[in-house]
Amino acid sequence: MLTQEIEKPWIKEKDIYARISWWLTWAVAFLGVAGGAVRCYFSWKDVPRVGNLCLIMEDDFATFDLENTWTREVDMGGFGNGEFEMTTDSSNNSFVKDGKLYIVPTLTSDVIGYDNVLNGYTYNISGCTSTNSTSCGAVSNSTAGTVINPAMSARISTRNSHSIKYGKVEIVAKMPVGDWLWPALWMLPVKETYGPWPASGEIDIVESRGNSINYAAQGQNVVRASLNWGPLSFLNGVAKTYGWWSDRRSTYADGFHTYAVEWTPTFIRMYVDTRLDRMLQVSFNEPFFTRGDFPETILNGTQYIVTPDPWVNGTRNVAPFDQDFYLIMDVAVGGTNGWFPDGVGNKPWLDASTEAMLDFARAQNTWYATWPEDIDQRAMIIDSVKMWQSC
């Protein structure tokens, strides 16, 4: 009878190279984990903090407080952007329902008729809050290229109630659906300390577009933040201080997201949902006039002058963002300032045209077909707003 010999590999001489490779593999893995942990720690440690904050305003929209918190801005003048909507004090365009604030764009033709939007009608908006009388009314005459603003919407602000100089703002909101809708949550200075826009600054916490995700200039799946600043309207440094975040799985009209700004004397940061989803962070490490790299001279009428520095007497490196800013929430429609670039997405108007709004109104059947009938989809819906002041 043959006996099969049982192998006993553990009594054989060990392969030193196998042993070295085993330890080396685990050593490299350990170093990778340790290195990642160290990097995460220092990345967390290096994230600037806003410090102590005191809550100065919180609104969960159990009611629409138009006495102590919000002011409706009523205007037909386009707000410097050539916007095509008029903003109203109508409950059709801004209202609270089920603990949420709705800002809803609607058609002017639903109120005065489409023919009157284009021809032979004088419209004066009720409750106008503009100090410019030309922004309180319009006359339609398509032959002359004039038209009544073809859309109605709303713009509300804390201008008369709450503002902060350094601190934090946090807004939970859902963006609207519809071509050429322009939702925005943003801030302007209470006083134009350094001069007219953009010399005194603008903080855009978030802006978006209601166009589809196929829109080549960033549609519903992209949100953007920016700072506007410059010595004159045609010298705006926004191109150096903007950024965005995109959602690859859905759009920002599909559900609610938290949009926030954190602002201190050393930095400002805007993000969506978490600081990891940062749209923009700017360190106040150099004067904004230096950051802008503006031309040394500019043409003023018929002669050249030295480009003025409006912030020379402000807080170094921070001005114009060293003053009180208030919050604005609105849904604009179209505009001629370039937010919707010419030639993209079958845009029915040209920014430089003197008949841009008229061309937009004539294309109403095309763009209105993309606006959902369901108000919950067409509106920007705000669930809550909080404002903190540094303290």
Q: Per CATH, is 48-390 categorized as 2.60.120.200? A: yes
Q: What is the DSSP string of 212-235?
A: -TT-TT--TTEEEEEEE--SBTTB
d(CA 175, CA 332): 12
Q: Is 262 considered catalytic here?
A: no
Asked if 176 contacts 331 with a C-beta cutoff of 8 angstroms, the reply is yes
Answer positive or negative: Cα dihedral of 323, 326, 331, 334.
negative
What pLDDT does residue 209 have?
Answer: 98
Site of tokens 């290195």: 35
Mean pLDDT of the 243-258 span: 95
* Reported pTM: 0.90
Q: Could you tell me which of 6, 244, 210 has the C-alpha nearest to residue 105? A: 210
Q: What is the mean pLDDT of the chain?
A: 94
Catalytic-labelled residue, pool 73, 83, 85, 202? 202
Q: Could you tell me which of 355, 391, 385 has the C-alpha nearest to residue 162? A: 385
What pLDDT does residue 241 have?
Answer: 98
Task: Reply yes or no: is the peptide bond before residue 295 cis, omega within 30 of 0.
Answer: no
Asked if 166 contacts 390 with a C-beta cutoff of 8 angstroms, the reply is yes
Q: Is 5 considered catalytic here?
A: no
Whether the per-residue pLDDT at 48 is higher than 80: the answer is no
What pLDDT does residue 240 have?
Answer: 97
What pLDDT does residue 24 have?
Answer: 85
Band (pLDDT 50/70/90 cuts) for residue 44 is low
Band (pLDDT 50/70/90 cuts) for residue 248 is confident
What pLDDT does residue 362 have?
Answer: 98
Mean pLDDT of the 370-391 span: 98
What pLDDT does residue 13 have?
Answer: 66
Record the tokens describing residue 287, joined without a space. 């004067």
Listed by start position, the domains of the chain span: 48-390
Q: Which amino acid is at 167?
A: G
What pLDDT does residue 144 have?
Answer: 94
Ramachandran region of residue 305, left (φ > 0), alpha (ψ -120 to 50) or beta? beta
d(CA 39, CA 31): 12
Helices (H), the chain: 16-46, 109-112, 114-118, 288-292, 356-362, 364-368, 375-378
DSSP 8-state secondary structure symbol assigned to residue 252: T
Catalytic-labelled residue, pool 83, 85, 207, 262? 207
Whether the per-residue pLDDT at 186 is higher than 70: the answer is yes
Band (pLDDT 50/70/90 cuts) for residue 83 is very high
